[in-house]
Structure 1
């Protein structure tokens, strides 16, 4: 999630950006709106991910003005990025849809946000959102990935890390 800004490194200071996420949980078929709060920005790369994964999860609805889809992890709508360097603000809303199957127990949004060509921050993360108990997008991934004995301690760790 690094931009190709030759000769420029990401900022090492705390990011001035954070996420406003429309819901604390997700349910397949139900959109989640995300806004990036902070100073106006010109560029971004935005994905949804499960905890500990580098794979884009779910898909984005039609990107707002000045942005476009970016294929990530083989998913043609797995990420949203800027289509130009026009100013974007907190009024810019990105809409994500969870996958129809294989939903993990938690999801977070991750971004690289560029205030300008020379000033950008990587690893900007949202708080986690939880899979709604009514979701039908599959505990099958959870059962395959997590041994039952490790599930509760792992979920507690995830929760504590993102408080």
Structure 2
């Protein structure tokens, strides 16, 4: 019988940990499941030496970190460890760098999804045409979990019934 492995003692910047918890709640996942999902999706991305050096300069090690016990499957941990060795950084920093990349992507998307006040539906040649703002709202809606979609649909139906 092999010895039972404990969780990997991950240290995350407080802002990143807060975002990870928020994403986990939004997607009805545990924080561990959300972190593993993001890490698994990040494996297709390869960081060059320059990118790693820029990350280290932009995100210096801070004392404002939170401890997080992350149980990483052996195969994923092995891949992450290989990447960390290629980048000549710790496994912890490799994980932080990959999660930060997801966080920054999310922040850029959130800022880009500002709704324009003149973004309303128009009819041209008898066909419905949706504006860029409506398209952005639709994409955001599609990204929600089923519970949040039902809440929004109930709200819309209630508002329509009151008109």
TM over 0.5: no
Higher strand share: 1
Larger radius of gyration: 2
- TM-score, normalising length from structure 2? 0.27
Which structure carries more relative contact order (alpha carbon 8 Å, separation 6+)?
Answer: 1
Q: Greater helix percent: which structure?
A: 2
